[in-house]
Amino acid sequence: MGKTIRELAEELNLSKSGIRKYLSASFRARYMAKNAHRIVINDAGVKAIKEMIAHKGAHSERTLETHSVQSNNILIEQLREKDKQIEHLQKLLDQSQLSLNASHSTNDSYLKPS
């Protein structure tokens, strides 16, 4: 029986232009015919378009998953780097505190009357 581009678009919840992007010249020659002044995609063509859309969706999900994993890896590496920076700054603060304490004790010894 087949379907028009509009019917297939409505069935798949796409726009007509969303369907047209799958209609290459070879697709048109193989799966489309003019029927009573309307262009119709035959059942095999409808199935082919549905498979192309399903394949594209699966590919998009894999791509999204890959990007998500890569983003997570980048964030983990950034956190590790920040941890190193915090550790370094903590050491500097500890050294400064020790130096300051030593300076105060030296000053205190000069200030105490003998």
Quick: pLDDT tens for 74-114: 899 999 999 999 999 999 999 999 998 888 877 766 666 65
Nearest-Å Rg of the Cα atoms of the chain is 35
- Residue 40: pLDDT band (50, 70, 90) is very high
Q: Which two tokens stand for residue 30?
A: 């193989």
Helices 43-111 and 5-12 meet at what angle, rounded to 10?
A: 40
The per-residue pLDDT for range 44-78, each reduced to its tens digit, is 999 999 988 888 766 666 777 777 888 888 899 99
Q: Which helix (H) or strand (E) holds 34?
A: strand 32-35
φ, ψ for residue 60, nearest 5 deg: -65, -40
CA distance 18 to 2: 18
